[in-house]
Chains A and B, each alone.
Chain A
Amino acid sequence: MIRTLTALPLACALTLTAVVQGGGQTLPAGPMTFADSRVVVGGDVSASIAPTDPGFFNYTDYEHTTLRMFRLALSGSLRASQRVTILGEVQTENVDRPRPYALYVRVRPWLRHAVDIEAGRVPPAFGAFSRQTYAVDNILIGYPLAYQYLTSLRADSLPATADDLLRMRGRGWLSSFPIGNTRPDRGVPLVSAFRWDTGVQVHAQSERVDTTLAITSGTLSNPRVDDDNGGKQIVARVSVRPTAGLVLGASAARGAFVANAAAQAAGPDSKGLTQTTWGADVEYSRGYYLARAEAVFSAWRLPVIQAPSLNGPLRAAAVFVEGRYRIFPGLYAAARVDHLGFSEITGTTGRGTWDAPTRRIEVGGGYALQRNLLFKASYQHNHRDGGRVRTLGLGAVQLVYWF
């Protein structure tokens, strides 16, 4: 948090310096093009300010919260030929070291057919919100729980008993278990919106139907560049547009979740430790309305080590509904209702959900100061059935610039 507070003035100073050095020239209103438009560079900059979040409801790891963040993302595409395009994106949060967010090659084997093959650190195929995570696309400031909220589960650290897991209820921002990596670290969300997986995917599009099939090295919870368990994940998505403005989508994914090091520490019978996820989404827009709903159901299989043991998969279900209404040109109001629930397990002291169910309501809106400069404000009410902080209200403001 201290780092965040110091980073914002630093970012301000850096950008001021950049403008002074640039002779006060106007920043671009659209993407920059080079080499006869074969190279296109766009950007998305957002600065969010909010009070501290002692309940860690909005954290993506121990140091980063989505409500107190300066994020700079530069994306680019290089059209090598009619069939081949290389795309990439670099992001920095709170002026941290820039990190590659995406880097992949897109190949269109047949120019007359909308079929693309993508390989590298590819965009997520699962769900709908996973491709709407840019601040300009997110109608509010917070993220849906399914894509951001950290459960206590980890891929590199395993609970030996059900009691170990129950002790970590509501502590996903810094959980620890006795098997594997015992150092406290962040848990995983159902689907990570902040890292992209590495692999190969095929996408085919017709007038009304989109289909994508991907094979990646990580899982939805734990996307990876390098493979830590030798298992692959398969992701499939189908979306249908029956009429203008309506999109219906269904997704599924299954992949090896637990890292080899943790699985080996758990014992020789640790096999089939997977994350299986199902998703359904719908979007409808017309006139000044936009409504979206999405449901994500995930199940993780962890090894049975000691009694009281974890029998059966650990399940989680997240559902959110969000909507936006444009009040007048440049101004809109938005709201999101979100719920994240967990299945029950039995420990020595009784039966309970393996993580604390969480609910969030966020209301707010945005005002376009210019076409590509958006001011957002929101208030979110969080409630969790466990953890040190159970109820928390947070107001936030955000400024978004894109080109």
Chain B
Amino acid sequence: MMDANHTIPWTPGADAAREAPTGLPVLICFVAVVWLVSVEGVAREPAAQVPPASAAATGSIAGRVELGHVEPAPARRPEVAALGAPPARDLPDRRVSVVYLETAPRGAFEETKPGRAALDQRNETFVPHVLAVTTGTVVDFPNNDRIYHNVFSLSKVARFDLGRYAEGRSKPVRFDRPGIVRVFCDIHSHMSAFILVFSHPFFAVTDADGRFRIDRVPAGTYDLIAWNEGTTSDPQPVRVPAGGVVDDVEFTLR
């Protein structure tokens, strides 16, 4: 299961440890709930930064993320109590991955330029399914369906509930902390999306074929990580030459 409370950068090995505590016993044994909550609160240590690089000497990283199999779109719960079949909906594109530097050059955080992005609600689907932004970015959540949606997140890095609002309206959320934010709709449980918030600008969202390119990376050696639907690759060391392109980075996930 995906954990919504990562901070970025993170150490991938910690993921498994955080997946264990949830479970049905929690449902009945209330003591376990207390434990669960306490585990949720575990803080993550930030990774060390690499030495600063000359701003003028930059290069690019390009490559491809190959998925062993694409996670199927989350199914609608069997609505046994519904009086009729639910309407057709769009399915999220779960082929999209995100590739990022695990550690960024010192000073890169100051270069971050927060912008504005949008996560649309359309045909009972969040579009795009994966959004990657830098800290400080304001994300708009427009509703383009004729029905209500209620966007919310219980992620530690950004806990919000936008309430119910109708077609044509939009509400913004500013993301100030790095990490992964799982976004859901309170009315439609099959709707979900990821927002990856980075404290540096060295990341890229792949296209549907898995191709990516990260530009303006200061020359140096970095660990590169690929992420898809909660699964992260092992860090892959990459040496970026000044003025050059590393274009043969290949990741295989799942």
A residues sitting closer than 8 Å to B (CB atoms) are 8, 11-12, 15-16, 18-19, 24, 26-27, 29-31, 33, 37, 40-42, 45-47, 70, 75-77, 85, 87-89, 102, 106, 108, 114-116, 118, 123, 125, 131-134, 201, 203-205, 207, 210, 212, 237, 243-245, 285-288, 290, 326, 328-330, 368-373, 375, 397, 399-402
Q: Is the beta-carbon distance between A26 and B163 smaller than 8 angstroms?
A: no
Chain A hits for B165, CB < 8 A: 286-287
Chain A hits for B29, CB < 8 A: 12, 16
Contact of A33 among B72, B146, B148 (CB under 8 A): B72
Q: Which residue of B lies closest to A46 (CB)?
A: B27
Contact of B27 among A47, A115, A131, A287 (CB under 8 A): A47
22 contacts between A and B (CB under 8 A): A8-B28, A19-B25, A24-B23, A26-B19, A27-B23, A30-B74, A42-B77, A106-B84, A108-B85, A131-B83, A205-B84, A245-B164, A286-B164, A290-B164, A329-B152, A329-B159, A369-B36, A370-B36, A373-B22, A373-B26, A399-B26, A401-B27
Chain B hits for A15, CB < 8 A: 23-25, 27-28
Q: Which residue of B lies closest to A41 (CB)?
A: B78
| Min distance, Cβ A285 to any Cβ of chain B, angstroms | 5
B residues sitting closer than 8 Å to A (CB atoms) are 1, 19-20, 22-30, 33, 36-37, 72-78, 80-85, 87, 146-148, 152-154, 159-161, 163-167, 182, 184, 189-190
Q: Which of A76, A134, A326 has the most CB of B within 10 A?
A: A326
| Min distance, Cβ A378 to any Cβ of chain B, angstroms | 16
Q: Is the interface of A mostly helix, strand, loop or mixed?
A: strand
Q: Is the beta-carbon distance between B24 and A114 smaller than 8 angstroms?
A: no
Q: Is the beta-carbon distance between B77 and A40 smaller than 8 angstroms?
A: yes
Q: Is the beta-carbon distance between B75 and A40 smaller than 8 angstroms?
A: yes
Chain B hits for A245, CB < 8 A: 148, 164, 166
Contact of A47 among B19, B28, B75, B152 (CB under 8 A): B28
Chain A hits for B147, CB < 8 A: 244
Q: Is the beta-carbon distance between A76 and B72 smaller than 8 angstroms?
A: no
Contact of A19 among B1, B19, B24, B152 (CB under 8 A): B24
Q: Is the beta-carbon distance between B148 and A26 smaller than 8 angstroms?
A: no
Q: Which residue of A lies closest to B159 (CB)?
A: A329
Q: Which residue of A lies closest to B166 (CB)?
A: A244
Q: Is the beta-carbon distance between A368 and B154 smaller than 8 angstroms?
A: yes
User: Known contacts A15-B25, A45-B27: does B80 contact A77 (CB below 8 Å)?
Assistant: yes
Q: Is the beta-carbon distance between A134 and B77 smaller than 8 angstroms?
A: no
Q: Which residue of B lies closest to A204 (CB)?
A: B84
Q: Which residue of A lies closest to B83 (CB)?
A: A203
| Min distance, Cβ A72 to any Cβ of chain B, angstroms | 9
Q: Which residue of B lies closest to A36 (CB)?
A: B72
